[in-house]
Amino acid sequence: MKYRDPRRVTDFPAIILVDGERRAVEIREISRSGVKVAGLPDGLDDDADGANNLTLSVLNHRVACQVR
């Protein structure tokens, strides 16, 4: 698989809010088009039609996100 945007490897701690519940995760890779996150809870699904309300909290910034 070839990525369009260069990816940078990192080990950056973050918090993800899944339907309002806080979980500690780690950002493993980052690019202009997205991030690769380790430690997501089981059961998150990209074809759940918005069943999961996800927010990534990094450095006091909150970003709405989705699983792909």
pLDDT computed for residue 1 by the predictor: 56
11: left (phi over 0), alpha (psi -120 to 50) or beta: beta
| Whole-number pLDDT of residue 9 | 92
Specify whether the CB–CB gap between 20 and 53 falls below 8 A. yes
**How remote is the C-alpha of 23 from its chain's centroid?**
11
Extract the tokens encoding 31.
């690019």
* Residues 19-45 pLDDT 10s: 778 989 999 998 888 888 898 887 776
- Helix, coil or strand: residue 2: coil
